[in-house]
A and B are shown apart, each in its own frame.
Chain A
Amino acid sequence: MKRHAMKLTENELREMLRQALPPVRLDEDIDLWPRMLRRLDERSARMGWLDRVLLLLVSLGLVMFPAIIPQLLYQL
């Protein structure tokens, strides 16, 4: 038999994939909103901490180099 005749056809491959990787059963009533809220809270808390550090750094910069204040105001 010629090589091309032995080749797995696309339809055979699809069928093999479907058998090896069957559909995942879905839980229709799943409610992911509580997990979403936790994720939002975690991220908000993390951003708050970052914001505070950033604010501290900016404040320190302004205290140490007050000469840049007029330049910043001019840029604004």
Chain B
Amino acid sequence: MDTAAEIHEPADLEHRFAAGELDAFETLFRRHQAEVFAWIVRILRDGPLAEDATIETFWRIYRARARFDARHEFGAWARRIATNVAIDFLKAKSREVAGFDVTDVPVAPGPIRDTSLNDAIRTAFRQLPAKLQAAASLALIEEESSAEIAAALGISVAAVKSRIHRSIGLLRKSLRRLRVMP
């Protein structure tokens, strides 16, 4: 849907957003919501939760509008905020299941297969600390580059690699406890 704001140049649009104009915010929202939502889904892996996180992301964006530097790219700024929101949502979700131990997953004696295996892997994955889970989801499942993950998390590439390495170590440990792997 075209709005009056869309006829302006992007920089002008972003300046007007930073000045607090709601129609400029709506234009930016409509332009970037799909991208932000898709990015958050890749981290949370849960559609309805990702919708809530997208709203929270744009709420934080709107609140921080005065700090937005219109010389920078709005999409990259939004993605960074979205990543932080997604991590906050993962933390909240992990608090909800606090006390649930990976060894609580019922497993048949001997190596487990198919559904039980997927349940065990999901459980092991969900028990990763939120920051590691976000990095692991983006790197190991979505195959995003370390540089892209680093930009979204606001950390160095080396720190991203370290998080991925720690995630793999923790996943292996959990899966060993579940006899999914030796």
Q: Mark A residues whose CB is within 8 Å of B.
A: 3, 6-8, 10, 13-14, 16-21, 24-28, 30, 32-33, 35-36, 39-40, 43
Contacts and interface: CB of A to CB of B under 8 A. Distances in A.
Return the 6 tightest CB-CB contacts between A and B, nearest first. A20-B121, A20-B118, A6-B182, A8-B181, A14-B140, A24-B47
Interface stretch (B52-60, B78-86, B154-162): B52-60
Nearest to A28: B34
Interface in B95-121: 117-119, 121
Contacts of B26: 33
Interface residues of B, number: 36
A3 B182 CA distance: 8
Majority-rule SS of B interface residues: helix
A20 B122 contact: yes
Contact of B121 (A16, A25, A30, A39): A16
B9 interface: no
Interface in B121-170: 121-122, 125, 136-137, 140-141, 168
B46 A24 contact: yes
B92 interface: no
A17 B140 contact: yes
Contacts, number: 80
B40 to A, nearest CB: 10
Contact of A26 (B41, B119, B121, B168): B41
Majority-rule SS of A interface residues: helix
Nearest to A16: B121
Contacts of B172: 7-8, 13
Contacts of A24: 41, 45-47, 50
A13 B41 contact: no
Given A17-B121, A19-B118, A20-B118, A32 B47 contact: no
A14 B175 contact: no
Contacts of A33: 26, 29-30, 33
A45 to B, nearest CB: 14
A16 B45 CA distance: 15
A41 to B, nearest CB: 11
